[in-house]
Amino acid sequence: MEVLQLLISGISLGCVYGLIALGFVLIYKATEMVNFAQGDIMMLGAFIAYTYMNVLGIPFLWGVPATIATMAVFGVLIERIALRRMIGEPPFAVLMITIGLGFIFRAAAGAIWGNEPKSIASPLTGGVLRVGELTVGYENIAVIAGTAILCAALYAFFRFTRLGIAMQATSQNQLAAFYVGIPVKRIFSIVWALSAAIAAVAGILVAPVSLIDPTIGFIGIKAFAAAIVGGFGSLPGAIVGGLIVGIAEQFAGLYGPAGSADVSAYVLLLLMLFVRPEGIFATIQRKKV
């Protein structure tokens, strides 16, 4: 029973990692940029949800779309102000820019909302589902269900819509995509909006489960581990990787030595890089000369 209980909390945690990883993968898939600030964007999303719901008193059901819309606009702003100029620059520079942006967001959040942990009450808070000896909080179920819905929607988007296919084309070859008439720059903006919106969803789902403060963005790094374990650039891989990392973390916390829960994600990541660097759902082929 204990194992099952751990498994469920692991899955719920893993879904959060998976959601952030989805944001990474999305941006990577469409723009070939790696966005290190994804965790911090999620943090901002959670804080904006907090502002709308707890400070301004907007009801939860209206607060959610408002948060998502705000973050989508924010995503476009990031792209227009900072990353648009970096098209064509080496990937390293882009990576460093997003790291810098992450630091700025964290400092800004600390300045605006303070460093004390905050919490958001959702309609589901406090509810518990009991099945036999298992107890699962409604929020955890919400996290799992929300992730599943979002994944299905994204999969359909990339598979069937014109925009989704244009995004894939852009990521595979920017110049060729431009030649066949895809507005590459606009695609980039849309991708950033989408990814920030996903981060906002992750933030809203996380906020009721754990307290929010400006440093929760650091779980973005664990989400990174998840994305790589799953195979960077693969949407289902991001979720599967997130689940693996989340479950491993729960079990390491109970059965491993002190402190192993904190490092389990990174150990897993390094092992993966040694054993199968392309991840579970491989999307890259090694270059041969």
Partner 1 sequence: MRFIFKTGYRQDIDIFKHDGQRFWYGLLVIAALVAPLFLDTFYLGELALVGIYAIAGIGLMLLVGYTGLVSLGHAAFLAIGGYAHAILMTSGLPFPISLILASALCAFIGAIVGLPAMRMTGIYLAIATLAFAFIVEHTIAHLEPLTGGFRGMPVPRPTLLGFDMGATIPFYYICLLLLTTSVVGALNLLRGPTGRAMISIRDSEISAQSIGINLARTKSVAFAISAGFTGLAGGLFAHNLGYLSPDAFTILTSIQLLLMVVVGGLGSLHGVIFGAIFIVLLPQGLAILRDWLPPSVGQLPGLEPGLFGLILVLFLIYEPLGIYGRWRKIRDFFETFPLYRKATHKRQRSYLRTERVR
- Binding residues (CB under 8 A) for partner 1: these are 32, 34, 82, 85-93, 95-97, 99-104, 106-108, 110-111, 115, 171-175, 214, 221, 224-225, 228, 232-234, 257-259, 262-263, 265-267, 269-270, 273-274, 277, 283-287, 289
CA 167 to chain centre: 18
> Residue 212 forms beta bridges with which residues?
118
Environment class of 149 (CB within 10 Å of its CB; exposed 0-12, middle 13-18, buried 19+): exposed
Q: What contacts 259, CB < 8 A, 6 or more positions away?
A: none
CB of 110 to partner 1, least distance (A): 4
Given a contact cutoff of 8 angstroms between Cβ atoms, the answer to whether 214 and 110 are in contact is yes
Angle CA(272)–CA(237)–CA(90) in degrees, nearest 5?
A: 75
The residue (of 122 and 250) whose beta carbon lies closer to partner 1 is 250
CB of 251 to partner 1, least distance (A): 17
Q: What contacts 244, CB < 8 A, 6 or more positions away?
A: 14, 226, 229, 230, 268
> Residue 134 forms beta bridges with which residues?
131
The residue (of 11 and 227) whose beta carbon lies closer to partner 1 is 227
CB of 181 to partner 1, least distance (A): 16
The residue (of 145 and 159) whose beta carbon lies closer to partner 1 is 159
CB of 177 to partner 1, least distance (A): 10
The residue (of 88 and 132) whose beta carbon lies closer to partner 1 is 88
CB of 262 to partner 1, least distance (A): 5
The residue (of 8 and 113) whose beta carbon lies closer to partner 1 is 113
